[in-house]
């Protein structure tokens, strides 16, 4: 099973590398007030992907923090009930 994961990861890496090598054309990002930034297409796509992944992680992080707080409150309540029975 480990070799299957390694093979799959290697094939995914090769596909991503081929995609990166085919998308090296320069692109221009234009901002307000005439500001421009020139970069390879793959770099722009990578930055957009990372920004989206970071936004998703931050969105999920708030739910995880809320669940942890709720779990701690329930554990405290359970501990209080167990000590009151003794």
pLDDT tens-digit readout, 54-69: 999 999 999 999 999 9
Q: How confident is the model at residue 25 (pLDDT cuts 50, 70, 90)?
A: very high
Q: State how far the Cα of 54 lies from the Cα of 47, in Å rounded to an integer.
A: 10
Give me the domain span that covers residue 24.
2-85
- Output the pTM of the full model: 0.65
Structural domains of the chain, count? 1
Pick from 29, 59, 54: which is nearest to 44 by CA? 29
> pLDDT of 26-42, one tens digit each?
999 898 898 999 999 99
Q: Confirm if 19 and 4 have CB atoms less than 8 A apart.
A: no
Q: State how far the Cα of 74 lies from the Cα of 68, in Å rounded to an integer.
A: 10
Interval 1-17 mean pLDDT: 90
């Amino acid at each position: 099973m480990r070799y299957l994961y390694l093979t799959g990861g290697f094939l995914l890496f090769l596909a991503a590398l081929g995609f990166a090598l085919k998308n090296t054309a320069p692109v221009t990002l234009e901002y307000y007030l005439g500001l421009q930034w020139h970069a390879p297409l793959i770099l722009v796509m990578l930055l957009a992907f990372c920004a989206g992944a970071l936004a998703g992680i931050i969105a999920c992080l708030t739910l995880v923090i809320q669940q942890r707080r709720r779990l701690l409150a329930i554990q405290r309540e359970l501990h209080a009930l167990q000590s009151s029975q003794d």
